[in-house]
Structure 1
Amino acid sequence: MIKAVSEYLGRYTHKVAISNHRIMDIGPQKTTFGYKDYRQGAKKLVMGLDNMEFIRRFSMHVLPKGLVRIRHFGILSSSAKQGTIPLVHQVLGAAQLPVDPRALAQYNPQYCPYCQKETMVSIQRLPKRGPPRTVFSALLPSKN
């Protein structure tokens, strides 16, 4: 039961409403696309809809600006995560993750593969999201 629920939710929480490869034809009056009917054992079917109906159904999956698709609450909420996640790991008997990156699978980010010593030095700390601005700014075309 739990596996079926997670598969069902996974199909809808981590994908777009319809990907481009599923759209087969867009005509002046009708849009045709493929889909899987999971009630029939994931059988692949084709559906054609009037363009206005297709747009209406597609727009039902567009979130309003600022609304997040998946919100974390309970033990995963931002305010509770610090205290509850270690407690959950303890209750489930899960191993604690090491904080030091050198302890992860014998990987040491300061280890140089050429001289075989810890000589690598960090020269820049990248932001958590987005591309590294200063490193790639020379490669990007100018906006002028």
Structure 2
Amino acid sequence: MFHSVWATLQAFANQRHHLEGQLGALMVLHTWGRNLSQHTHIHCLIPGGVLTEGKTWLATRKEGYLFPVKALSVRFKREMMQRVQQEIDTHENLLIEAKSKAWVVYSKPVLHHARAVVGYLSRYCNRIGLNPTQLNYGNNGSVEMTYKDHQSKTLKQMCCRPGEMLRRLLLHALPKGLMRIRYYGFLANAIRARAIADIRKSLSEQPHEVTEVQKEKPCCPNCKNRSMVLIRIAVRPRAIAEKERLS
């Protein structure tokens, strides 16, 4: 899945999309739904531009927009199915069913604040999607779990035996050696420091367009002369202003 996501993104970093260069990406594997069901997907954090061959930063032509989501969905489906076909030739019925379904790529609006980005990703990095405050004892030794339903946006309760709760929790314990967080492109560990230095240097050297705006000077209400110069702005005390309003 990691390889399919990265191949999909790389396929769109070209001249046609005005982004000819090397993308960067941070990917986080997320395997659970809100009720600890199996829901395997990957979260990606992608800088809005590429590092060109000339070691300069090329930002997206349109702010807040990277790639077309529907086209990403089609390409990701093709990339994923090719890899599954190579790995599992015996599960023909499963592949036929998967090919018949519509696949979805969700692109979240751009996040401008670093704190929001870190907070969003951290929820999927340091623990499996279960908070102890969600659990409570039920009747006859069962366990109750409170969760927010994704579709109805309401709180729901799931009641099950302790063994079933442990089974759901262990569905999301990754095999030893499988990395949940991975870096790609110019954010890869081997080149990240050098690439970011090149991007910062490129951004500092880019010329800034300076547009002079000719503002009309204020006109004197008495002599109609337009050579007035603003010296200062005097603010009346609140008590005086309130008194004049009441009078």
TM-score, length basis structure 2: 0.30
Higher CA-based Rg: 2
